[in-house]
Structure 1
Amino acid sequence: MADENGTGAAEEEAAPALNPPASIGGDDEEGGGAPEWMCTFSDLVTLLMCFFVLLFAMSTIQEETFKELVQSLKSALGVQQVPETGTREGLRMNAGTDTTDPKDHAVDELGGMVQKEMEEIVSDVRELIMFNKLGGQVRVEETEDGAVITIADMVIFGPGEARLSEDGRIVMEKVAMVLAQFHYPVTVSGHTDALPMARRNDDSNWELSTRRATSVVRFLISMGIDPAELKAQGFAHYRPVADNGTPEGRAKNRRVEITYERTYIARAMGGELY
């Protein structure tokens, strides 16, 4: 009996050792924490997010922001020279302090103001054309010289005539309303086709183009436009925009142009473009 009891006791004492501790299994099943690999994965995701945020910040940096950053670096490092934008890893440095002429900044600012006025003029004329259904008869475009309003001669003049027609006066009244909003010098240019004048007098295309431009100027003055802001000139058929060998081309060449020149606008603003 003793052997049997002793053997039984030994088996009872050894049996619990065959199973893992209940506490270990219980912790895993009841929320003992995330697996160890989750820490590494979380760090990786965080680093990727920081990397893309940095790329986004670098891609949207503006010139003014860069200048502010340069000034901050100068103050922090106690130096007067830092790599400029576009240098390769700071290997190329400025030879000295900033030597930018203040006049260059003034010219850039003036150019921006003039460009804004150009866009305003073009926008207002396009609205005039759209609301009055003048497409194909009046057009406006922005060129290197300025904003050019082009009016076909058949809209405002009779054939070979330099006096505004009744329909022409109506159209010019609407154009004058737009011009009155911008107090800048305006150049009115007359143009003809290459065909000789079929009239009894000795007028040539020079006289016709000049008289048409003068007629438009006089009408604009009657509408309240300052005479000091107006200039008339005629070019006859020597500045064509189409082929004078076809009826369609000649129709395009017979025109009156009203131009707001960039240089004149800049002078009116008290500056000079160069």
Structure 2
Amino acid sequence: MAEDDEGRKKKQIIKQEIINIQEGAPEWMATFSDLVTLLMCFFVLMFAMSTTQQETYKELVKSLKSALGAQAVPESGTREGLIMHPIPSEKSPENQAVDDMGAMIEKEMDEIVSEVRELVLFNKLGGEVSVTKTDAGVVITMSDLLLFSAGGTQLSPKGLEILEKVAAVLSKLAYHVKVRGHTDSEPITSSIYPSNWELSSARASTVARLLVANGVPPFYISAEGYAQYHPVATNDTAQGRAQNRRVEIVYERDSIARQFEDMYNK
């Protein structure tokens, strides 16, 4: 009898547990939970898209600022459907004039380089005459092997011929030109030139005189000697010393700029 009572109690406990399980969360909670989850995913997606658009907009603003000026693009964001009207550049006439002058100077330097390179190619002077455009200006470099004998200042026949052709190009230019003489570090032993200072200065003067004789206005020319103190290569090798022995014809950017300023002010 006691065993039957105990069995009935166990059955009642199991039945009650089944009832408790069935009386848990109602069935509509599953659908509601799915809906909340979908909404959360939707807002997370919207937030991610908004962040991406903001980064894209920042890049767009940065690009437009560089093209139109710092004040041409508003700092606040925009929305799709709104039209951004073009804002005129706020450059002053003075700044515009500076930009125009800079472009003219660059164009003039490029033309000088182009004409000298054409001369070099036509006369097959690669390795003996070169021209480069730098931040400081245009530099025409001529090897002393082409121009002078060792330790001398008298122009060789070939050097004379080439310098006359170079002068024909330079005589068209109304800019100040510097002729710079350079030597290697080997000391000179000469009663006429006690040091490389005198030798480099004399060579620069020789080239300057020839340019004047071939049509370059003398008031546009200056001659300078730099001795061995501005090398372009090592003085420890014969090849390096040969590169250091050179004459440079230099059109400085500042001198070209001054000529353009004088033209604007007239």
TM-score w.r.t. structure 1 length?
Answer: 0.64
- In structure 1, distance between residues paired with 2:183 and 2:76: 58
Q: Does 1:149 align with 2:137?
A: no
Describe the shift of the 1:207–1:86 C-alpha distance in structure 2 as closer, same or farther (beyond 3 A).
farther
Aligned identity (percent) is: 45
Partner of 2:198: 207
Q: Does 1:140 align with 2:150?
A: no
Contact kept? 1:150, 1:258, Cα under 8 Å: yes
- In structure 1, distance between residues paired with 2:262 and 2:76: 37
Q: 2:220 aligns with which of 211, 226, 229?
A: 229
Unmatched segments (≥5 aa) in structure 2: 1-59, 79-87
Unmatched segments (≥5 aa) in structure 1: 1-57, 68-81, 91-96
Describe the shift of the 1:178–1:85 C-alpha distance in structure 2 as closer, same or farther (beyond 3 A).
farther
Describe the shift of the 1:180–1:201 C-alpha distance in structure 2 as closer, same or farther (beyond 3 A).
closer
Deviations 1:21-59 (A, max 9, x none): xxxxxxxxxxxxxxxxxxxxxxxxxxxxxxxxxxxxx9x
Name the aligned partner's letter for residue 197 of structure 1. Answer: I
What SS does the aligned partner of 1:270 have?
helix
Q: Does 1:174 align with 2:165?
A: yes
- In structure 2, distance between residues paired with 1:114 and 1:265: 7
What SS does the aligned partner of 1:242 have?
coil
Describe the shift of the 1:62–1:179 C-alpha distance in structure 2 as closer, same or farther (beyond 3 A).
farther
Deviations 1:86-145 (A, max 9, x none): 84536xxxxxx9864432222111111000000000000110000000000000000111
Contact kept? 2:168, 2:215, Cα under 8 Å: no
- In structure 2, distance between residues paired with 1:140 and 1:202: 29
Runs of at least 4 residues off by over 4 Å: 97-101
- In structure 2, distance between residues paired with 1:270 and 1:129: 31
Q: Does 1:164 align with 2:155?
A: yes
- In structure 2, distance between residues paired with 1:200 and 1:177: 35
Q: What number of residue pairs does the alignment pair up?
A: 193
